[in-house]
């Protein structure tokens, strides 16, 4: 097993790992898109550099099988046992160049996991600045980030609760991207429409979370309204 990484991957290396993941999944004809901090970065978040890849794959194939499929077509990926007590799954990494066994963690998710809604493939966004990287639509991304905020806030585990400030920084910067020009850093229109394909339950839950968030950050209300929230 490669030795433990000495430092986090750069933004360029995260994108390299993401492109390799996309290519491996496309080999099997599978549709996917980036989620999490890597997707936030591609939408314009700049206050922190993502250090891993979260990829949603739109399929019924089990996540562990998807990992094995990726390994079969690209030898730069490898698996290590999870360090979480009692976990039976393995964690996938992408090997980076250079000394010290540097790597980038790659998480594979599917609709339903973490309440990720299923989505028409036509709604996936593609960045013009970083070709080849499919991204979760802006509104869905920020609503799922908001779910992470409430999940971490309400967790019994201290290491999850400690993630709340980072969640808030991410959400607040994403909300600041919405406004005046409604353009992303590519110069294309920022998709701030509330998608009509989101399940009603997800909409209702999101509205409740937004209300809770606005109680903490009342100055964000106008931005939430711009993406369709009605208080």
For residue 86, is pLDDT > 80? no
Please, what is the average pLDDT of the chain? 88
User: Are 116 and 217 contained in the same domain?
Assistant: no
Domain count, the chain: 2
User: Are 97 and 141 contained in the same domain?
Assistant: no
DSSP 92-154: EEEEPSSTT--EEEEEEE-TTGGGPPP--GGG-EE-SSSTT-EE--HHHHHHHHHHHHHHHHH
When mean pLDDT is compared across 57-66, 93-102, 142-151, 157-166, the lowest value belongs to 93-102
Of 74-88, 96-110, 152-166, 180-194, where does the model show the most confidence? 152-166
SS3 33: strand
Tens of pLDDT along 161-217? 999 999 999 999 999 988 543 444 444 445 566 778 888 899 899 999 999 999 999
Tens of pLDDT along 54-70? 999 999 999 999 999 99
Average pLDDT over residues 11-39: 96
Which of 64, 88, 122 is the C-terminal boundary of a domain?
122
SS3 80: strand
User: Are 101 and 147 contained in the same domain?
Assistant: no
Q: Binning pLDDT at 50, 70 and 90, where does residue 77 land?
A: very high
User: Are 144 and 116 contained in the same domain?
Assistant: no
Q: Binning pLDDT at 50, 70 and 90, where does residue 99 land?
A: low
Pick the closest to residue 63 from 25, 34, 8 (CA basis). 25
User: Are 145 and 186 contained in the same domain?
Assistant: yes
What's the pLDDT at 170? 95
What's the pLDDT at 1? 46
More confidently predicted of 132 and 53: 53
The answer to whether 231 and 214 are in contact (CB under 8 A) is yes
Q: Binning pLDDT at 50, 70 and 90, where does residue 8 land?
A: confident
C-beta atoms surrounding 15 within 10 Å: 22
Which domain, by its residues, includes 44? 11-122
In a domain, 159, yes or no: yes
In a domain, 127, yes or no: no
| CA–CA dist 171, 165 (Å, integer) | 10
Query: Locate tokens 């606005």: which residue?
Result: 214
Run of H or E residues at 53: strand 52-57
| CA–CA dist 172, 192 (Å, integer) | 15
What's the pLDDT at 83? 82
For residue 144, is pLDDT > 90? yes
For residue 4, is pLDDT > 90? no
C-beta atoms surrounding 182 within 10 Å: 12
The answer to whether 82 and 67 are in contact (CB under 8 A) is no
In a domain, 23, yes or no: yes
Question: Parallel, antiparallel, or unpaired for β 103-109 and 90-95?
Answer: antiparallel
What's the pLDDT at 106? 98
| CA–CA dist 69, 79 (Å, integer) | 12
The answer to whether 119 and 100 are in contact (CB under 8 A) is no
User: Are 34 and 113 contained in the same domain?
Assistant: yes
C-beta atoms surrounding 17 within 10 Å: 26
Q: Binning pLDDT at 50, 70 and 90, where does residue 23 land?
A: very high
User: Are 17 and 116 contained in the same domain?
Assistant: yes
User: Are 98 and 148 contained in the same domain?
Assistant: no
In a domain, 214, yes or no: yes
In a domain, 132, yes or no: no
In a domain, 142, yes or no: yes
For residue 130, is pLDDT > 50? yes
């Amino acid at each position: 097993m490669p030795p433990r990484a000495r430092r986090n991957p750069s933004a360029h290396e995260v994108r390299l790992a993401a492109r390799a993941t996309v290519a491996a999944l496309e080999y099997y004809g599978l549709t996917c898109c980036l989620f999490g901090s890597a997707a936030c970065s591609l939408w314009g978040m700049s206050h922190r550099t993502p250090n891993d890849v979260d990829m949603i794959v739109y399929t019924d194939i089990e996540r562990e099988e998807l990992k094995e499929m990726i390994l079969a077509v690209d030898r730069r990926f490898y698996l290590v046992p999870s360090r979480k007590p009692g976990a039976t799954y393995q964690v996938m990494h992408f090997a980076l160049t250079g000394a010290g066994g540097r790597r980038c963690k790659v998480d594979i998710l599917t609709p339903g996991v973490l309440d990720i809604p299923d989505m028409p493939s036509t709604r996936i966004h593609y960045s013009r600045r970083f070709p080849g990287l499919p991204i979760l639509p802006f509104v869905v991304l920020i609503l799922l980030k908001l779910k992470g905020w409430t999940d971490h806030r309400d967790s019994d585990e201290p290491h999850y609760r400690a993630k709340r400030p980072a969640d808030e920084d991410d959400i607040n910067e994403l909300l600041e991207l919405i406004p005046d020009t409604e353009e992303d850093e590519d110069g294309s229109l920022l998709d701030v429409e509330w998608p009509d394909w989101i399940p009603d339950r997800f909409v209702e839950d999101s509205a409740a979370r937004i209300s809770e968030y606005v109680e903490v950050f009342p100055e964000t209300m106008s931005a939430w309204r711009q993406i369709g929230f009605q208080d």
